[in-house]
Amino acid sequence: MNLAINTKNISKSYPGVLANSNVSVQIKKSSIHAIVGENGAGKSTLMKILYGMTKPDQGEIEVFDQPANMSSPKEAINLGIGMVHQHFMLAKNLTVLENIILGIDKPSIKNLGLKKYKKLIEEVMSTYSLDIDLDMFVEDLSVGEKQRVEIIKVLFRGAKILILDEPTAVLVPQEVNELFKNLNNLKQNGVTIIFISHKLDEVLEIADDISVMRTGELIDSVKNENVSKTELAEMMIGKSLPTPPPRSTETKQNKILDIKSITSESVDGRKFFTDVSFSVFESEILGIAGVEGNGQKEVVESIIGIQNIESGEIFFNGENINNKTTRQRLESGISFIPEDRQLQAMIMDMNLTNNVIIGRQNIEKYKSNLATVKIKNAIKESENVISLFDVKTPNTNTLATALSGGNQQKFVVGRELEDNPSLLIASQPTRGIDIGAQSLIWEKLRQSRDNGLAVLLISADLEELIGLSDRIIVFYQGSTVKELSSDDVSPEDLGGYMTGLKK
């Protein structure tokens, strides 16, 4: 067979995670091969291995039927493999031409030969029907054009295999069409393209072959013609059904959070979400499902006031909070568990006591008569959190960075629940932590819910979402497409709505 890349039983593990387990994939020459999977399914690790950025623990790679043992991107480039990263590797204040030829010549004192290179690059551009003004500064290019520069850069170095990492994530629809047109051109000119994505529509539109990954394993490789979107979604999300324990309390009738048709867009005009409405009731967990990047993160941010909304209203306990600052919102009884605990939830170089006060320094019990913080109360509070949530730490003076991920997360959840908030927004509350910490956090969330807390739960873990939530709403392309009761929903159904298959 005519293979561009053939991998045999590739495995790679990081401390605590098996990122790739026995992955064998065959990629045909001059084809577009898509690799799909949820976040954390192991796509990126596989790509890094193919591009020589990391070495696999075991397994073999063949490139154009030759065994390849790459240990750096440079070797991958020499073998004809090029990568277009999701975040462009371009220098803004240099011209397109300079960006493309950077690093080709050794660092020497001689004429750069801009004219010669310009001619050569223009030849490559006309071969593959790609078009860009070489004298523009990269700063002045649109996102789609920057991506084209990256593609030209890789082709100019003689790449015959192109790896595109989530290429459509940053593009607007017109730019996606342009990109697909270009990719088809490349394919006709003999270039092999590996297309990483989790957007099934796009994959089905562009790819010849599709490989699905889940939890580090390659589930299957199929031909585009032989597969439906439903089947792909099922393969991507899996079928394991959770067993939620029955709840003994009832959801109350009063609305804690009431969102009325809010809309928001980014500075460059891309819509984050459009006309979103939903409510969270007292003593209820409302789950939000959606493939990452469909607007759910921005909705949450607009509830706590980090993201601006263009139109619509947000009511909290019956009061319009549109014009309140983030601090006022948090003080009025909204708690927030951000999705990235190390970046947003804690300051890693501070001790636990200080981390308990962060953002709450204005709460009555931390205020002293002078303009200082009552550190005694803070110590008491953090001791309280540590014992209630079983945080494993020597004392309250320990730096946050010294704790394991699970203990950090338990501490964050404990802190957010401590002042009896009326609404808790939990964004990926158990991502990347061990099973023990996970079940403890689940248990605490259920307990608080039974005591009357309204919870807005955002999670990529469908098992967690179905197991915890009372109701689930599904986000797709910035809108709520479906509301479901968690009693009668299967992960396949949910996957269908999340990928836009079912309506």
Among the listed residues 93, 174, 240, 369, the single contact to another protein using CB under 8 A: 93
Which lies closer to another protein via its Cβ, residue 74 or residue 270?
74
Taking contact as CB under 8 A, which single stretch among the options 85-93, 287-295, 342-350, 352-360 is the one that binds another protein? 85-93
One-letter amino acid for residue 259 of the chain: I
CB 425 within 8 A of CB 300: yes
H helix runs in 35-156, sequence order: 43-50, 73-78, 96-101, 114-127, 143-156
Distance CA 32, CA 306 (A): 40
Among the listed residues 17, 94, 143, 481, the single contact to another protein using CB under 8 A: 94
Q: Does 190 bind another protein (CB under 8 A)?
A: no
Taking contact as CB under 8 A, which single stretch among the options 17-25, 82-90, 270-278, 433-441 is the one that binds another protein? 82-90
Q: Which residue has the tokens 């399914």?
A: 41
Q: Does 358 bind another protein (CB under 8 A)?
A: no
Taking contact as CB under 8 A, which single stretch among the options 15-23, 93-101, 195-203, 377-385 is the one that binds another protein? 93-101
Q: Does 267 bind another protein (CB under 8 A)?
A: no
Residue 246 DSSP one-character state: P
Which lies closer to another protein via its Cβ, residue 3 or residue 94?
94
Which lies closer to another protein via its Cβ, residue 109 or residue 371?
109
**Binding string, residues 418-447; x marks residues near another protein by CB under 8 A:** ------------------------------
Which lies closer to another protein via its Cβ, residue 107 or residue 269?
107
- H or E element in which residue 354 lies: helix 352-357
**Binding string, residues 101-140; x marks residues near another protein by CB under 8 A:** xxx-xxxxxxxx-x--------------------------
CB 130 within 8 A of CB 182: yes
Q: Does 343 bind another protein (CB under 8 A)?
A: no
**Binding string, residues 17-56; x marks residues near another protein by CB under 8 A:** ----------------------------------------
Which lies closer to another protein via its Cβ, residue 77 or residue 453?
77
SS3 136: coil
Among the listed residues 59, 73, 333, 452, the single contact to another protein using CB under 8 A: 73
How many residues comprise the chain? Answer: 503
C-alpha dist (Å) from residue 450 to 246, 430, 439: 12, 20, 16
Pick out residues in 320-339 that bind another protein (CB under 8 A): none
C-alpha dist (Å) from residue 500 to 177, 223, 337, 463, 480: 19, 21, 28, 19, 11
**Checking DSSP bridges between strand 255-265 and strand 217-223, what pairing results, if any?**
unpaired
Among the listed residues 71, 91, 231, 270, the single contact to another protein using CB under 8 A: 91
Q: Does 349 bind another protein (CB under 8 A)?
A: no
CB 429 within 8 A of CB 459: yes
Among the listed residues 14, 65, 71, 92, the single contact to another protein using CB under 8 A: 92
Taking contact as CB under 8 A, which single stretch among the options 96-104, 140-148, 181-189, 410-418 is the one that binds another protein? 96-104
What is the secondary structure of 141-177 as a DSSP string? S-HHHHHHHHHHHHHHTT-SEEEEESTTTT--HHHHH
What is the secondary structure of 295-322 as a DSSP string? SHHHHHHHHHTSS--SEEEEEETTEE-T
C-alpha dist (Å) from residue 315 to 43, 261, 284, 372: 40, 11, 17, 33
CB 484 within 8 A of CB 472: yes
Which lies closer to another protein via its Cβ, residue 92 or residue 239?
92
Which lies closer to another protein via its Cβ, residue 108 or residue 369?
108
Q: Does 143 bind another protein (CB under 8 A)?
A: no
| Residues found near another protein in the complex (CB under 8 A) | 73-74, 88-94, 98, 101-103, 105-112, 114
